[in-house]
Amino acid sequence: MSQQHRLSRTDFATVFAKGKRIHSKHATLILMPNKDLALSVVVSKKVAKKAVDRNTLKRRVYALAVPYRQAPIDAIVLLKVGALRVPRKLFQTEIEALLAQNLISR
């Protein structure tokens, strides 16, 4: 996902404070209406100690969000502890369902 589809620092703070939160087993999605999709993915050191693992999880989520670039929403995906240990297919299915259910229905 290109840089233009990522949240700026000020937008991130606004969405984090005022956005609607939707929870799944391994992720939390924070949403706020906007003109087009802007996304940030947060993976803390509690989720994955190594930077390589955190970046891998971020890349996976950004790749899954590409089909929703036209969604009129700002979103933050917070990954929870255990997201790294989930099998890749299950993780992909869960994140796709979370994104599809909440980004398309807006």
pLDDT digits (tens, 9 = 90+) for 22-39: 999 999 999 999 887 889
Q: Is the pLDDT of residue 99 over 90?
A: no
User: What global pTM score does this model have?
Assistant: 0.88
> Which domains, and CATH codes, for the chain?
3-103 (3.30.230.10)
Q: Is 82 left (phi over 0), alpha (psi -120 to 50) or beta?
A: left
Sign of CA dihedral 21, 60, 83, 80: negative
Pairing of strands 27-33, 38-42: unpaired
Distances (CA, A) of 27 to 4, 10, 35, 60, 72: 23, 22, 24, 13, 21
